Amino acid sequence: MVSSIQKNKAELFLKYHRDEEILVLLNSWDIGSSKLVEACGYKAIATTSMG
């Protein structure tokens, strides 16, 4: 069962794909790089499959 929070996040992520602004996803390898990407104001972060 998918929680309402996860459903809302998925809908927001889909909206980012449909916006006129280009969606840029930086790949994060660890918590430090994730925090840096977030601090730079990116809307979403890509992650490694094992991360």
pLDDT for the residue 35: 93
DSSP states along 16-46: HHHSSSPP--EEE-SHHHHHHHHHTT-S-EE
Tell me whether residue 14 is in a domain.
no
Tell me whether residue 29 is in a domain.
yes
pLDDT for the residue 29: 86
Q: Which among 39, 47, 43 is positioned nearest to 14, based on CA atoms?
A: 43
Prediction pTM value: 0.68
Residue 33's domain comprises 24-51
Position 51 pLDDT exceeds 60: no
Tell me the pLDDT tens digit for each residue of 14-50: 999 999 999 999 998 888 999 999 999 999 999 877 6
Domain count, the chain: 1
Tell me whether residue 33 is in a domain.
yes
pLDDT for the residue 50: 66
